[in-house]
Chains A and B, each alone.
Chain A
Amino acid sequence: MLWNTLLLALRAIRRNLMRSFLTVLGIVIGVAAVITMVTLGNGATRSVSDQISGMGSNLLMVLPGQRFGPGAEAAPAFKSADLDAVRTQISGIERVAPVANKTATAVFQASNWSTVITGSNSDYFPAGNWVLAAGRSFSETEERAGKAVCVIGDTVREKLFGRQNPVGSEIRIKQFACEVIGLLKPKGQSAMGQDQDDIVVMPLRTVQRRLTGSQDITRLIVSVKNGASIDAVKQQLILLLRERRNIGENQDDDFRVMDTRQIAETLTSTTRILTMLLGAVAAVSLLVGGIGIMNIMLVSVTERTREIGIRLAIGALEREVLLQFLIEAVVLSSLGGLIGIAIATAASIALAGAMNVPYMFDAGINLLSFLFSAAIGVIFGYFPARRAAGLNPIDALRHE
């Protein structure tokens, strides 16, 4: 009975090629959209968290103020003295790198390039996972004296020097000349889409004296010694900074100490929300596809009711008719689901490549959208048939 019913179902599919095609198409589009969106979103989230974990798990970021963005209260920046205090009074830290930024134009011969000048020390490179491609880092003397030396990123090298070796050349920034002593290996785009290689690093004192004209430090990067407790260092930092910034007992901190896990959470939560949004939009298309299927099935219900009447009249059992319709619905919707999965896989791999995010196969979403599409097909293909097959054959035959 099963074999014969399968034959009948396949014949019915072939007989109504257009209807079958539209049914499959509705499911294909919905399934492909949902899977592609969610897969790409997952890839983006992964890419963000990868880059952050690339920073190392033993880093602490110390920032003035409690919040980013608009509405953030103006909290005083850190001073050079804070850096020394942290370095000398807190146990369990390996490195402390200050950061002071200033945008400026760098000039070499006929080329110029506007970039961000970062003032820091030699700890900045290991703490930020930077590797030197050529040349060297700052010496202690250069840092203390505020010498005009700099280490440049790959983008700056490309814009100013082209194919030339930059190490040993002098670039001009504002009114002073600065010797390039090192070149950093490229890192590529950051999680937020910025070019990380668009960077010029100088000793902190050089930047403070010649560019910012103040003692301000906009943030501190602290790396914790292996084996030392990150939380303990964090607590010490908070206590020290509260004291140095004269924060009273009942006042809130006017600075933040974030570890990489918190930074990762902040950033990945953004991409996760985006993934959910994209998934929701795609889910609407799956729903619309489902409504399309429902429409097709309901329009054909008159014809199919008569067909059921004919089949019953010439001796089909009710359960044979139902099984046939169930097989039809399952074949069409799983075909649509499988094609949708195939298209989604191809599209996700292609788009992930184009967007420079990893392709991450998500079995859950594949299974979920497949089951959903199968359910739509079965509900809208099978239940109208169930009603018709329960009629007296003569009523089904006379259905108008």
Chain B
Amino acid sequence: MTGTTPLIRLTGITKTYGRGQATFQALKGIDLAIETGDFVAIMGPSGSGKSTAMNVLGCLDTPTSGRYEFKGVRVEALSRNQRALLRRRYLGFVFQGFNLLARTTALENVELPLIYRGERAGTRHAAARAALEQVGLKGWEHHTPAELSGGQQQRVAIARAIVTRPAVLLADEPTGNLDTRTSEEIMNLIGTFNREQGITVLMVTHEPDMAAYARRIVRFLDGRVDSDRRSVEAA
């Protein structure tokens, strides 16, 4: 690969849950480097540690040991607040369960990360409307999650994730709650943001069909990286 520092580099990351006798080691030493602009699918059976790895990568959880560099910065040494600021500045999240704020309009949901960034109201509205238009929800700005289908809710979540133009989009089973046709639409959307805006995508999935959209597939097994290969079809 290129000689420059990768966007993300994990070295010997472990994560242990519990204390004393009842400990469970979810990650047993992960080494992984991810380049800017890549589209990486993380696969593996349940309990293989793929979601834990994703949470560590997204700074939603802290590793027990190991080294996590983001743009050359040692993330595991950052404080809670610094990690929150890193998420605010560089990361966007899409979850399996959408995780939109209930009883809140699509527009206000998408605006939320911009409010925390301290954007002015005018800029905020314009950016949120543009993001909703990009995910194909023009005209749905004032609907609440309860009034939207699953696919539409996930589109709102994607709009919320990309409205800040993040460096990395982290998607945890983004199509897990959706039917096949809607899943394809969502994957195409994510693929578009990856290709056209150069947003690095990290996606956890257990469906090979969805992983096929990625350029690189990392398989987890029992808390370790089992295989790491470039996808033939999507490259």
Interface 9-residue window, one of B54-62, B184-192, B193-201: B54-62
Q: Which of A7, A310, A317 interacts with B84 by CB under 8 Å? A: A317
Chain B interface residue count, CB cutoff 8 Å, equals 31
Q: Evaluate contact between B103 and A314: CB separation under 8 angstroms.
A: no
Cα distance A319–B81 in the bound complex, in angstroms? 9
Instruction: Tell whether A310 pairs with B103 under 8 Å between CB atoms, given A315-B113, A317-B81.
Output: no
Q: Is the CB of B115 within 8 A of A4?
A: yes
With beta carbons under 8 angstroms apart, the residue of B62, B89, B116, B164 that contacts A316 is B116
Q: Considering the chains assembled together, what is the distance between the CA atoms of A11 and B144 in angstroms?
A: 13
Interface SS of B by simple majority: mixed
Tell me if B227 is interfacial: C-beta within 8 Å of chain A.
Answer: no
Does B11 lie at the interface of the complex (its beta carbon under 8 Å from any beta carbon of A)?
no
* A-contact 0/1 string along B87-103, CB 8 Å cutoff: 11101110100011111
Contacts of B102 in A (CB 8 A): 15, 303, 307
A315-B85, A315-B113, A320-B116 known; A394 vs B61 contact (CB < 8 Å): yes
Contacts of A4 in B (CB 8 A): 115-116, 118
CB contact between B104 and one of A1, A15, A315, A394 (< 8 Å): that residue: A15
The answer, yes or no, to whether A148 is at the interface (CB within 8 Å) is no
**Contact status A318-B99, CB under 8 Å:** no
* Residues of B close to A318: CB separation below 8 A: 80-81, 84
Residue A306 at the chain B interface, CB threshold 8 Å = yes
Are B87 and A313 in contact, CB atoms less than 8 angstroms apart?
yes
Quick check: A315 and B95 within 8 Å, CB to CB?
no
Q: Which residues of A contact B103 (CB under 8 A)?
A: 15-16
Does B84 lie within 8 Å of A316, measured CB to CB?
A: yes
Tell which of A1, A307, A311, A317 touches B85, judged by Cβ atoms closer than 8 Å.
Answer: A317
Tally A residues with Cβ within 8 Å of B: 26
Interface contact B55-A7, CB-CB below 8 Å: no
Mask of B115-131 contacts with A, CB within 8 angstroms, 1/0:
11110000000000000
Nearest B residue to A313 by beta-carbon distance? B93
Chain B residues with Cβ under 8 A from A316's Cβ? 84, 88, 116
What's the Cα separation between A368 and B116 when bound, in Å?
36
Once the chains bind, are B104 and A314 in contact (CB under 8 Å)?
A: no
Query: Is the beta-carbon distance between A397 and B84 smaller than 8 angstroms?
Result: no
Interface centre among A303, A306, A394 (most CB of B within 10 A): A394
Q: Which interface residue of B58, B62, B84 has the most chain A CB atoms within 10 A?
A: B84
Q: Flag if B116 contacts A306 (CB, 8 Å).
A: no
Q: Which residues 1-35 in A have Cβ within 8 Å of B in the complex?
A: 1, 4, 7-8, 11, 15-16
Q: How far is the CA of A11 from the CA of B91 in the complex (A)?
A: 24
| B residues in contact with A312, CB < 8 Å | 60, 84, 87
A393 interface contact, C-beta 8 A: yes
In the complex, chain B residues whose CB is within 8 Å of the CB of A310? 99-101
Could you tell me the distance in whole angstroms from the C-beta of A349 to the nearest C-beta in chain B? 39
CB distance from A394 to the nearest CB of B (A): 4
Cα-based distance from A312 to B92 in the complex (angstroms)? 12
Pairwise interchain contact A315-B99, C-beta atoms closer than 8 A: no
Most chain A beta-carbon contacts within 10 A, residue among B99, B100, B103, B115: B115
User: Could you write out 28 A-B pairs with CB less than 8 Å apart?
Assistant: A1-B118, A4-B115, A4-B118, A7-B115, A8-B115, A11-B104, A15-B102, A303-B102, A306-B99, A307-B102, A311-B112, A311-B116, A312-B60, A313-B87, A314-B88, A315-B84, A315-B85, A315-B89, A315-B113, A315-B164, A316-B116, A317-B84, A318-B81, A318-B84, A392-B62, A393-B60, A393-B61, A397-B99
The list of the 6 closest CB pairs from A to B, nearest first, reads A315-B88, A394-B60, A393-B60, A314-B113, A15-B103, A315-B87
